[in-house]
Structure 1
Amino acid sequence: MKKIILINAIIWAVLILVASYFFKNDPNYPYFFGILLVGFALINGLLSTYAKPGLKSKCR
Structure 2
Amino acid sequence: MNKEAVIDTAAAARHARFGKLPERIRLEDTTQGVDTGLEAKVGSRYNPEGQWQYYSCLALDLGL
Q: Larger RCO: Structure 1 or Structure 2 (Cα < 8 Å, ≥ 6 residues apart)?
A: 1
| TM-score between the two structures when normalised by the length of structure 1 | 0.34
Structure showing the higher helix proportion among its residues: 1
| TM-score between the two structures when normalised by the length of structure 2 | 0.32
Q: Which has the larger radius of gyration?
A: 2
